[in-house]
Amino acid sequence: MNLELAGHDIQDLRKVAEIDGVFIRAVAQAASENSEHIRGLARAVGENSENIRGLARATGENSEHIRGLARATGENSEHIRGLARATSENSEHIRGLVRIAEIHEHRLTDLEGGAA
């Protein structure tokens, strides 16, 4: 009777081992698939890191260009203010020339006998 029970126990153990083997193979397969996914994610992270570094370099270069533009804009603003001052002075000179022309016109009119 003990041998019969031992035989059943061995058969039960074989069934359990067979079921465990199936589960172990399924877990191994899932682990293998997860490893592939993890490697893919690692590659994507590496590529993203490269892209981020590239963007950082481009941002630094753009910052330099923007600082250069700001300097040029400041210089242009100074030139424009100088042109505005020169234009204002020229306007004053032109008004002065108009007044002189008006005075000469009156004198010529007086000389021609326009004023009696």
Rounded to whole angstroms, the Cα distance separating 58 from 37 reads: 31
114 pLDDT tier (thresholds 50, 70, 90): low
Please report the pLDDT score of residue 21 as a whole number. 87
Q: What is the sign of the dihedral through the CA atoms of 64, 66, 72 and 78?
A: negative
DSSP-derived letter for residue 112 is: T
- If you ran DSSP here, which 8-state letter would residue 114 be given? -
pLDDT digits (tens, 9 = 90+) for 48-98: 999 999 999 999 889 989 999 999 998 999 999 999 999 999 999 999 999
pLDDT digits (tens, 9 = 90+) for 12-60: 888 888 888 888 889 999 988 888 888 898 999 989 999 999 999 999 8
The pLDDT of residue 8 is above 90 = no
> Which backbone phi and psi does 88 adopt, to 5 degrees?
-65, -45
